[in-house]
Amino acid sequence: MRSLVTSSGQRHRLLQRILDRPGLFGLISFATALYYASFILDYRNAEHTRVSEHALMPGLVTERFDKDGLAVEYLHGLREHVNRSQNASGTNVYAVLRAPRTTGVEAMLFAVDLTQREAAAMMMAYAAFARQQVYWARDLFFVFVDGGAPGMDAWLSEYHLVEDGALHGDPLPEVGGMMIAGVVIKSQATKSTKGPLLRIELNHLNGQLPNLDLFNSVVRIAGKGKFALQSTVYGVRDMEQGGTDWHMLVPLRAMYTQAFVAVEGIHSVMGKYGVQAITVAVPSLASYPLRHSARLLEAIARSLNNVLERFHQSYFLYILASPDNFVSIAYFMPIIGGVLLPLLMFAYRDWTYLSSFTVPRTWILIHAIGLCTWMISTTYFAKYSENPKSEIIYLGLSMLIPWGLIVPTPISEIQSLRFFLLLECSLAAASVALLNFSLALCFALVAVPVIIKFTQDNEKRPRALLRTALALVCHPAGIYALFLVYGIPYLGYGGKPVPLEVNTALLLKNHYMAHSS
């Protein structure tokens, strides 16, 4: 960094201005990133979705499902079975339809939770119908899942012969080839007052998403004239769809759920096995004919049957702005760069004015504690713990203790410690953004102004205690609690929003400007 000078040995004029007033330039960068995010996440400025894999040909087949009477018969049987007894055995049931035209090197997966009686009856009837067809180029697996996402995870681990210490399942007597896609069928519990809707869920684990072609194909099939279903994501129905929701709730809920919701549904665990999967929630029988819902499933299956190879031509990293618009990684990644840039500005200033560079003992202690925490959580809790839930809570509480204060930091190491903290925080958040952009952004929005504030030079004891309290805010539990209190109400998930009396713009200005002098 010391080499950022001109040929005459003088520092570049722009860099010198940043050194003189890092708070001002940091505030400009932070505000610009937020404005840019609000601009590109608006569906009116986003790209329109498109099907890149032309072999899918969504909606071009003629659906012929006619066994809705059989589905009703199955539904009555399931209701009697559920009312008579309660299944607590944790047993998945699956059926295999072998493709007559291939050797079984590829397969498609269709799953339904056993608690979804209408969806289970529909899929049983469709399996009986599909058995009579001869055009299948891939094996079809119909899985009736007992136990939700863990049950689906256990079945997939046995299918792919993956050993998992937390999952135990019996070997599968019948397996197939590579799963190119998975579709989970659900039935909506309530009847929509403004016409039938198709609700789609697509979040995988750790903020991952399925290939965009799979989602686009389902949306286009549902929008055909014979089905005439409007697709909704993240439970948002804006005014263009006849609802009252704010259209920006789609990208905001997308980022919130990808950051803080571990498992959205059965489809979420399929991504860890390389299966591109979504959940399709069809309207209830009270608002939509069962034959149409089954034919929708048939159209999706026929479209997946046409794919020539694995999904790869469309996007895996994107943010939905609406069911018909998306933002690709090339456009949303600059947001995290603008939010983290203030940390790099202050780190550059500390490096420039650093008289002697040392590795602080506090920094070594904190990383040693982090390494021990990782080792304990990956070995002890997975293999030896009898009650991991409560012990993980104790571990989380122990992480709230400011261990770094136990070892006093010499005055000569304070500037080096601040440089390490600013630089490492920015690099860690940028690294997380490559895996889970939403989680990194939620962390950075809170941590950047807070870290800049509590690293400010101040010898007064009340300010020192305030800095310690601010440091706890950057703890994962603190960030999660903050979004839980303020994020959920404003995203319309229930409850009234907590009023914010603080002028956010003034607060940010005070945080940054305190370092400009």
**208 is a domain residue:** yes
Helix H or strand E segment including 96: strand 93-97
The answer to whether residues 246 and 214 touch, using CB atoms and an 8 Å cutoff, is no
Q: Does residue 417 lie in a domain region?
A: yes
17 lies in the same domain as 135: no
Neighbours of 395 (CB within 10 A): 15
* 82 and 194 together in one domain: yes
Q: Is residue 120 part of a domain?
A: yes
* Assigned domain for 163 exists: yes
Q: Which of 314, 349, 383 is the last residue of a domain?
A: 314
324 is a domain residue: no
Q: Is residue 183 one of the residues assigned to a domain?
A: yes
Residues 87-101: b if buried by 16+ CB within 10 A, e if exposed: eeeeebebbbbebee
Same domain, 133 and 227: yes
Residue 124 CA to residue 81 CA, distance in Å, equals 15
Task: Give the domain CATH number at 309.
Answer: 3.40.630.10
| Tokens matching residue 125 | 């009837």
Q: What is the pTM of this model?
A: 0.83
Domain that residue 75 falls in: 66-236+262-314
Task: Summarize pLDDT for 262-311 with one digit per residue, the tens.
Answer: 888 899 999 999 999 999 999 888 888 888 888 899 899 989 988 888 88
Residues 33 and 131 in one domain: no
Does residue 356 sit in the same domain as residue 439? yes
Q: Looking at 280, 314, 348, which one is the last position of a domain?
A: 314
Give 233's strand partners. Answer: 200
Query: CB within 8 A of 341, min separation 6: which ones?
Result: 26, 29, 30, 33
Q: Is 94 in the same domain as 18?
A: no
pLDDT at 334: 95
Is residue 115 domain-resident? yes
Do 341 and 287 share a domain, yes or no? Answer: no
**What three-state secondary structure class fits 383?**
helix
Which of 33, 62, 73, 117 lies closest to 335 in space, CA to CA? 33
24 and 161 share one domain: no
Contact 136, 100 (CB under 8 A): yes
Residue that terminates a domain, selected from 248, 280, 314: 314
Residue among 509, 459, 454, 513 at smallest CA distance from 478: 454
Q: What is the pLDDT of residue 85?
A: 39
Regarding whether 181 and 71 lie in a shared domain, the answer is: yes
Count the domains in the chain: 2
Both 336 and 309 in a single domain?
Answer: no
**pLDDT below 70 — which residues of the chain?**
1-11, 59-89, 165-166, 191-193, 377-378, 380-407, 457-464, 493-517
The reply to whether 142 falls in a domain is yes
21 and 160 fall within a common domain: no
User: Where is 334: in which H helix or E strand?
Assistant: helix 329-352
Alpha helices in 236-286 (DSSP H): 249-260
Please answer whether residues 305 and 319 qualify as being in contact, where contact means their C-beta atoms are separated by less than 8 angstroms.
no
**H or E segment and range at residue 461:** helix 461-473
Distance CA 198, CA 218 (A): 10
pLDDT at 517: 38
505 & 356 share domain: yes
